[in-house]
Structure 1
Amino acid sequence: MERPLHNAYNETIPTNTITMGHAMKRVLILTAFILSGCASTPPTTVNIDQPPSVKPDSASTMMAGVSSVDITPPPGLPMAGYSMMANKGKGFRTRLKARTLYLDDGKGRSMALVQMDMFAGSLLLQHKVASAVAEKTGLNPGDIAVIGTHTHSAPSNYHHNDFYNKHASSGIGFEERYLEFMTARIVEGVEQAWAERKPAKIATGRKDIYGYNRNRSLSSYVLNPGQEYASDVFKAVNPSLYMIRVDGLDSDGTYKPMGAFSSFSVHATTLSALVDVYNADLFGYAQRELEWAVEKDYDTSWPVIHALATGTHGDMAPALADHNDRLFGHAPVNWKASKELGQGIGREAIGLFKELEGKLSTDLALRTATREINIMEENSAGNAEICSQPFAGNALAGGAYERRTPWLAAVPVLQGGNALSRRTFSTDGCQGNKRILGFSALQPLFEPTKSFPTTVLFQLMQVNDMAIVPLPFEITADSGRRMRDAIFDAYKNAGNTSLDNIAVISTSNGYFGYTTTPEEYDRQNYEGGHTLYGRYTTPYLVNRLGQLAEDSLKTEELEELLPRWTYTLKTGAFMPEKVLPQGSRAALTDPAFNEADESHEEDYIAFRWSDAAPFAIKLHEPLVSIETKTSAGWQPLVVEDIPVNDQGYDIEVRLVDTEGDGMAEWETRWYNPLPMDKGDYRFVIEPRNGSGAIYSKVF
C-alpha cells in the first residue's frame, strides 16, 4: 500500500500515480467523447473585420524589431493536449510568453512571426491580431503567422471550430474572454516589435542535432519508402534545428543580438497529464537558455528573445527515458527531466546562434504568399482528394504511445497500431482502413460535419534563403519532408535558386489534429487515427503547398483570403469572475521546507499569503521574487547571473483556495533552493491593486 504524500504544510497531496479507482474513471472518456456532442451550450457568433490591403511605411534599409509579452492566464482554465485527462491550471511554474520577430526588408515588404507558448495557434487569434495591427504596422493578414509550441500545459478553447473547443482540453466550449485576453496581449507584442524596430542584420541557418527527439511511431514510419534507421528511434527523426538570427544597431553604433526565431521537431510532452500548473514544457527551458546566455555574452542593452517553435513533430517524442505504453496510469511529473532536455536543446541553439555570426548581413529579401481555403469544400488538389466528411478514428481515443489514455488504450480496438483498430473491409474510401470511433453512421449524430475544423491558412514566408511554412496540423517527419520537396521542386522548375532551407512548422494559425503519409496512415497508430480528413491528407497538403509556391513566383503579391471571417461557436465559461478584492493582503504562513521523496521530485520552500482572487491577481505581471540579505541591505537574489524570480525556472505560483470577498489564498514555491544555512532569504510578493509588497519571514 502506498503511503500518502504531504506538502510543506503537512496536507495530504495526490501521488504521481493513478489509483485503480481513479484510473477506472478514464473508461468513461470514450462515452464522454461521444455524448459530449449532446452538451448544450449557447452559441455565439464571432465577426472579424478584414483589414484593407495596406503597404508598410518602409524604410530604405532593413529593419527589425522584437518583443516578448507575458500571456500567462488566470488560474482555472482547462489545459489542452491531454484532452479530458488534463487538469485545470492552478497557477504557473514557467511563464507562458508570446515572442514576436518583426522584419522589414526596406523594399516594401514586412512580416511578423509570433511564437506562443501555447497548445496551438488559433485562426480566430490570427485574424483578430491581423485586423487590429494592420493600420498601424502596415502588415497584411498573410504577413502574420501565429505559431504554438504545442505545450500540453497551457489553455486552449479559442479555436474556430466546436470540435477542438470540445476535445482539445478538459473543458468544453469556446471561451471568448480568453480569446480577447490573448488578442490584447499579442497585439501589444506585435505593435511593440514594430514600434521598436531598428536597422538590423540577419542570418539564417540550420544544423542537425540528435539525442533530443525520438520516433514514437516507428512501426508507421518504417512503412514509408526508402527510410533509413528502421530500428533506431533516435535516428528515425527530423533532426533539423532551423534559425533566423537578428542583430540590431545599438546607440553606440555597433550591432548587437536582438534574438532569434527557430524551430525544432519535438513534442512538448515531457510533463505528463498529471501536471496542474501552466508551463512552457521543455521549450521554456530552451528559450530562456539562449536568451540569458546571449544577454550576458553580448552585454545587450535590450532583452533578447528566443522564439522557439515546433517543427514536424507529429511522430517526434522528447528523448526521455522510455516509459512504455502506460496502459493503466500516467508517468510521474518529472520537471528535472524536462529541464535537462530543454537546456540541452538550448545549448544547441546557442551554438547555432554563434555560428551564424559570420553570416550576418544587412541584405534582406522577404516574400509572403497566402491562400486561405475551406478544405472541406475545396477537397481536391492535383491528383489528391481528401474526405469531405472528417472522422475521428478509434486510435484517437486510446492516445499516443507513452501518453496513452489509461484503461481505454488497453482495449484492442482502441489501441493505436493494434490490428483490431484497423478495418479489414471497405478500405477503398478516403478514410481507408480507419476504424471510425462510434461507427461512421453514429459519429455524425454527435459530431456534426460543421463542428470540425475547415479553414486552412496556407502560408509561405520566405526570409532570404529560408522559407517558413506554418500549418495548423501536427505533421509527421516524413510528411514534412514531402512538403519541403514539393516547394523545392516548384522553385527548381521556375529556375529560382534562392531557397536553401525550408522549415515546415506545425500547430500554426489553428489546429486540425494530425497529418500522416498514406503509408503511415495504414498502420492506424494514434497519429493516423487523429488524421481527420483521411488517408490522403498529406498528398493534398503537398499539392496545395507546391501550387502555392509555384504561383507565388509568378507574381509580386499573392494573398487570397476567404470573403468573410464569421464563425458561430458553442461557448464555455472558464475565465474567473471580474471581482475586485475587498480584503487586505497579508502573509499567512512562515516559509516551510519540503524535502523531495522520490528521485524525480525536487526540494522546495513554500510560503502562503492572502491576495486578490484570480481575476485581479494578474498572473501575466511579475509577482514573486527572492531577496537575500547583504551588507548593503536586502537585494534581489542572483545565482550564476540569473535573478531568482518568477521569470525563471524554479518559482511556482499556485492558487490554494478562493475566499468570499474577492480574495484568495496563494502559495509560492522556490524549487531547488539554496541551502538555508548559506544566507538569509525572504520571499517578496509584488504590489497589486494599490497595496504594497508583502515580505515573508526571513529563512
Structure 2
Amino acid sequence: MIERQRATAMFWVLLLVLLHNGKETISASNYLVGLGSYDITGPAADVNMMGYANSDQTASGIHFRLRARSFIVAEPQGNRVVFVNLDACMGSQLVTIKVLERLKARYGNLYTEQNVAISGIHTHAGPGGYLQYVVYIVTSLGFVRQSFDALVDGIEQSIIRAHENLHPGSIYVNKGEILDAGVNRSPSGYLNNPASERVKYKYDVDKEMTLLKFVDDQWGPVGSFNWFATHGTSMSRTNELISGDNKGTAARLMEDWFDQKSVAKIARRVSNLVQSTHGSHQKLVELASSFQSNPGKTVTKYSSIASRVRSSLKSTEKPRFVSAFCQSNCGDVSPNVLGAFCTDTGLPCDFNHSTCGGKNELCYGRGPGVDEFESTRIIGERQFKKAADLFNSATEKLNGKIDFRHTYLDMSQLEVTVPKPGGGSDTVKTCPAAMGFAFAAGTTDGPGAFDFKQGDNSGNLFWKMVRNVLKSPSKEQKDCQQPKPILLDTGEMKQPYDWAPSILPVQILKIGQMVILSVPGEFTTMAGRRLRDAVSAVFKEKVHVVIAGLTNTYSQYITTFEEYEMQRYEGASTLYGPHTLSAYIQEFTKLASAIVNRKPVEAGPQPPDLLDKQISLLPGVVVDSTPLGVKFGDVKTDIPKSSTFNKGENVSVVFWSACPRNDLMTEGTFALVELLHGQDTWVPVYDDDDICLRFKWSRPSKLSAQSHATIEWRIPQSAAPGVYRVTHFGASKNLLGSISHFTGSSNAFVVK
C-alpha cells in the first residue's frame, strides 16, 4: 500500500511538472537554436556620432555599452539562418561584406549573404564612420577604422558564440500592442494616404510587437528577439555619450530580468555577508574612513571586468540569456510621445512643415521624461514590459521548413510595373539616388538648420546654386524625382568615390510560419504595412511577417507614393524616386513566390567593396599627459572621506585620465563601482554597461594632451547597504606610441 501511494504521488508530481513546463517540456524540438552576444561599443572619444549628421556631436563617454546579438536557427540536416541585431544606427554594406568574408574563412559556405542578416536598431548615439558611401561619413571626417573594426569583430564573435551554443530547441512566437512608445512625427504625410486605406487601421503608427522566444531542450529559455517600430532618438542630437537608446535599454532590462543576475540581485546576494561582517551603519562609516584614495592593485586582465559583474552568478555551462529589441518600419515613428513643440513659445509646431515662425530649428519632439536620459529609460521600459509579457505568455510554436532568398537590385534604374488608376498597368523606373531640400530640414527628433523646412517641393535659388557647385542634376533626373526638388544628386556623384549606394540587397528569412523581411532602409508606417500585406498574400499558409529595418546596408527612407508627394523629411530622403516602395513590393513578392514554389532567384549585380578607397581625416591620438606630480588614474576630485549617501543620490568622482581610443576596453569597462566584502575584498557590482553608471570623458581644451574622466553613479534603490568605492580603468599613450594601462580608485564611502 505504501509503495502504491508513493508511486501515485510520484505520478502526480511528474504530471504537475509536465503541466507547469507546458509545451517546452512535453513537445519534441524541431530546430537547433543558438544565441550569442558581444561588445561593439567602439571609440568613446572624438568620433562623430551616426544618425543626426551633427558635426558637433562627438562621442565623449559611455551611457552604456553597445552589443551585437545574434540568433541561429537550423534544421538538424537542412537549412539554417542567422539574424544579427546591432546596437548601431544601421547595417553597413561594407561591414556585411567583411563579416561574410570572415564567416567564409571560418565555416566555408555555411553562412553566406543568402542566409545572414545584419540589422541596426537605429540608435543615434553610436560612433559613426563605418559606412562606405561619402554622404554617410562626411560629418565623421571620413572613414573611422576603429568604429568599423569594432563592428566587424563584434558581429563575428556574436555569431561564433551563437554557433557554439547550437542545441536542439524550439521557438515560440507571440504578438501584442504597445500604445505609448511611438507617435507619428509626419502626420501630414500619413494623412495624404488614401482615406480608404487609413480607415483599415486604428492608429497612424504600428503599435504591434512581434516576439520570438527561444527554448533550449536542456537549459530551457535562452533568449528572445522582437521587432517593434520606434525611432532610436530618445537621446538627443546634443548627447555625447555612447548609448543604445531606448531599444538598448530595453535589452539590458530584459536580460537582467530573466537572468535574475542584475547587479541589484548581486548586491542583495552579498548584502547579508556585508552586514554580517560589518554590522551597524556606524561601523560601516568607520570602515570606509580607514580606506584612502589609492590606485589599488594593478589590473591587467581588463577584458574580464565587465563580464565579472554581469556574470558573477552565471552558470559556467548554461548559455547566457540574449534578448534583442530589433527595429522595424520606424521611418515616421518618434519615441518623443508628447508631440512636437516650439522651444520659444511652448506651442505646438506648424502641422504641415514642423516649423516655429517659419524656422525648423525651434521645433522639437518632447517626452515622456523630463530629460533625454529619463525618456530613454521610460520608452525602453515600456518595450521591455511588453516583451516580458509576450515572453511569458508565448504558446504558438514555430513549425516547418527553414528557407531564405536573397538578391541584389540596381535601384538606380529598376523597371517597376504599377497599376493604372483606371485599370491596366504601366512600366515606370526608379531613379539614381537624390536627396530633396526637406532632407536638410531634419525632423522633430533632430531639426536641421538654415532656412530649410519640411514639405518643401520647390527649393530656392540660392541653395540650388550651391548644389550645382557639387553636381547639377540632369533634366532626366529632375523629371524622374518629381515632385522632389533635388538638393544633392548623390547617386550621380562619384568623386572621390560613390556618394550613395545603387546596388541594394533584399532578403527573406523564413522559419516555419515566421517571415522576416530584411530591408536596407527605413520604411514608414504605411509603406511597411503595404509591403507586409503584399508578402503575406503570397504565402498559402498563415504567416507572421515582420520588417527588419536598416538591414545589411543603408539607403535612407522608403515612403508611399502619396507620402512622397508631400516631401516631408521622409519623402525627401526616399532616394530612388516616387516608385521606390512599388519596386520593393515587386521584388519582395518575387522572393516570396520563389520560396513558395521552391525556385532559385538570380544573385543580381554585386555591390562594390570600397574599403581601399576610404579616406580618413580624423587625426589619431598623439600623446596623453598629466600635470607634474600627477599620475594617470589619480583622483582629481574625490568623494569626501567618511561620506554617506542615500539611495537615489548621485556620486561623482573625477580622475586624471587618457584618451579612450587608446584601448576600447572591449568586453571590459572604463568605470566600476565596487562593494567591500569583509575587510579587504572589493566585489565588482556596477560597470559602464549599467544604465545607472555614466562614464564621461573630456579635455580641458580641444588640443590639450591632458584629459579627465568623470564617473557618475546614480545609486539604485536596489543597491545593498555597505561600503563602496569608484574605480576607473584606462590606457595612456606616450610620445613613442607605447600604450600603458592604469587604474585608480576613489575614497570609500557608505550607502545606507
What TM-score comes out, normalization by structure 1 length? 0.78
Question: Which of 270, 282, 285 pairs up with 2:234?
Answer: 270
Question: Which of 512, 527, 530 pairs up with 1:464?
Answer: 512
Question: Which of 312, 317, 321 pairs up with 2:338?
Answer: 321
Structure 1 residues 690 and 352: CA distance shift in structure 2, 3 A: same
Structure 1 residues 677 and 489: CA distance shift in structure 2, 3 A: closer
Look up the match of 1:128.
98
Letter in 1 for 2:341: N
Look up the match of 1:280.
244
Q: Measure the CA separation in 1 of the matches of 2:177 and 2:221.
A: 23
Structure 1, gaps ≥5 residues long: 1-59, 594-601, 638-642
SS at match of 1:324: strand
SS at match of 1:502: strand
Letter in 2 for 1:126: T
Letter in 2 for 1:451: W
Answer with 396-405 or 338-347: which moved more: 396-405
1:65 matched to 2:34: yes
1:359 matched to 2:396: yes
1:479 matched to 2:523: no
Q: Measure the CA separation in 1 of the matches of 2:494 and 2:440.
A: 15
Q: Measure the CA separation in 2 of the matches of 1:186 and 1:517.
A: 33
- CA shift, 1:153, in A, is 0.6
Look up the match of 1:394.
437
Contact 1:636 1:644 in 2 (8 A): no
Contact 2:342 2:362 in 1 (8 A): no
Structure 2, gaps ≥5 residues long: 1-28, 262-312, 344-359, 365-369, 419-425, 462-474, 641-647, 732-738
Answer with 257-266 or 657-666: which moved more: 657-666
Look up the match of 1:31.
none
Look up the match of 1:435.
485
Q: Measure the CA separation in 2 of the matches of 1:686 and 1:550.
A: 55
Contact 2:416 2:430 in 1 (8 A): no
What's the C-alpha RMSD, in Å, of the aligned pairs? 3.6
- CA shift, 1:173, in A, is 1.9
SS at match of 1:77: strand
Q: Measure the CA separation in 2 of the matches of 1:675 and 1:123.
A: 43
Letter in 2 for 1:562: P
Look up the match of 1:17.
none
Question: Which of 604, 609, 613 pairs up with 2:655?
Answer: 609
Q: Provide the aligned length of Structure 1 versus Structure 2.
A: 604
Structure 1 residues 514 and 569: CA distance shift in structure 2, 3 A: farther
Look up the match of 1:98.
68
Structure 1 residues 384 and 193: CA distance shift in structure 2, 3 A: farther
1:174 matched to 2:143: yes
Contact 1:484 1:502 in 2 (8 A): yes
- CA shift, 1:661, in A, is 12
Deviations 1:476-527 (A, max 9, x none): 0111111112212222xxxx31x42111121111111111001011111111
Deviations 1:50-97 (A, max 9, x none): xxxxxxxxxx96211111111111222110111135511011112111
Look up the match of 2:131.
159
Look up the match of 1:52.
none
Contact 2:443 2:569 in 1 (8 A): yes
Answer with 296-305 or 273-282: which moved more: 296-305
Deviations 1:543-566 (A, max 9, x none): 111112112333365571535743
Letter in 2 for 1:622: G
Question: Which of 189, 192, 206 pairs up with 1:220?
Answer: 189
Question: Which of 242, 247, 264 pairs up with 2:210?
Answer: 242
Look up the match of 1:513.
556
Look up the match of 1:296.
260
Look up the match of 1:501.
544
1:648 matched to 2:701: no
Contact 1:369 1:459 in 2 (8 A): yes
Question: Which of 197, 201, 208 pairs up with 2:166?
Answer: 197
Letter in 1 for 2:224: A
Look up the match of 2:329.
312
- CA shift, 1:697, in A, is 0.7
- CA shift, 1:666, in A, is 2.0
Q: Measure the CA separation in 2 of the matches of 1:237 and 1:151.
A: 19
Q: Measure the CA separation in 1 of the matches of 2:619 and 2:62.
A: 15
Contact 1:69 1:99 in 2 (8 A): yes
- CA shift, 1:655, in A, is 2.0
Look up the match of 1:599.
none
Structure 1 residues 503 and 578: CA distance shift in structure 2, 3 A: farther
Letter in 1 for 2:578: R
Q: Measure the CA separation in 2 of the matches of 1:385 and 1:473.
A: 21
Q: Measure the CA separation in 1 of the matches of 2:480 and 2:602.
A: 30
- CA shift, 1:360, in A, is 4.6
Look up the match of 1:150.
122
Structure 1 residues 693 and 365: CA distance shift in structure 2, 3 A: farther
- CA shift, 1:226, in A, is 3.8
Answer with 157-166 or 554-563: which moved more: 554-563
Q: Measure the CA separation in 2 of the matches of 1:210 and 1:78.
A: 33
- CA shift, 1:375, in A, is 1.7
Contact 2:30 2:170 in 1 (8 A): no
Q: Measure the CA separation in 1 of the matches of 2:561 and 2:524.
A: 11
Q: Measure the CA separation in 1 of the matches of 2:728 and 2:477.
A: 61
SS at match of 1:150: coil
Letter in 1 for 2:708: E
Look up the match of 1:572.
616
SS at match of 1:131: helix
Letter in 1 for 2:513: D
Q: Measure the CA separation in 2 of the matches of 1:575 and 1:464.
A: 50
Contact 1:591 1:605 in 2 (8 A): no
Letter in 2 for 1:475: F
SS at match of 2:54: helix
Identity %: 21
- CA shift, 1:145, in A, is 0.7
- CA shift, 1:364, in A, is 5.4
- CA shift, 1:202, in A, is 1.1
Q: Measure the CA separation in 2 of the matches of 1:662 and 1:237.
A: 48
Answer with 378-387 or 170-179: which moved more: 378-387
Contact 1:437 1:443 in 2 (8 A): no
Structure 1 residues 270 and 589: CA distance shift in structure 2, 3 A: same
Letter in 2 for 1:343: E
Task: List aligned pairs for 1:81-120, cutoff 5 A.
Answer: 81-85=51-55, 87-120=57-90
Q: Measure the CA separation in 1 of the matches of 2:63 and 2:719.
A: 22
SS at match of 1:90: strand
Question: Which of 337, 348, 364 pairs up with 2:386?
Answer: 348
- CA shift, 1:147, in A, is 0.4
- CA shift, 1:473, in A, is 1.2
Structure 1 residues 519 and 592: CA distance shift in structure 2, 3 A: farther
Contact 2:430 2:583 in 1 (8 A): no
- CA shift, 1:394, in A, is 0.7
- CA shift, 1:205, in A, is 2.5
Look up the match of 2:573.
530
- CA shift, 1:472, in A, is 1.3
Structure 1 residues 489 and 448: CA distance shift in structure 2, 3 A: farther
Look up the match of 1:372.
408
Structure 1 residues 381 and 694: CA distance shift in structure 2, 3 A: farther
- CA shift, 1:376, in A, is 1.7
Larger Rg: 2
1:259 matched to 2:231: no
- CA shift, 1:122, in A, is 0.5
Look up the match of 1:618.
664
Structure 1 residues 539 and 296: CA distance shift in structure 2, 3 A: same
Contact 1:79 1:152 in 2 (8 A): yes
Contact 1:78 1:171 in 2 (8 A): yes
Task: List aligned pairs for 1:404-443, cutoff 5 A.
Answer: 404-406=447-449, 408=450, 411=451, 414-417=452-455, 429-437=479-487
Structure 1 residues 664 and 364: CA distance shift in structure 2, 3 A: farther
Structure 1 residues 305 and 579: CA distance shift in structure 2, 3 A: farther
Contact 1:274 1:333 in 2 (8 A): no
Letter in 1 for 2:207: P
Letter in 2 for 1:621: E
Q: Measure the CA separation in 2 of the matches of 1:691 and 1:179.
A: 23
Answer with 137-146 or 120-129: which moved more: 137-146
Letter in 2 for 1:106: P
Look up the match of 2:597.
554
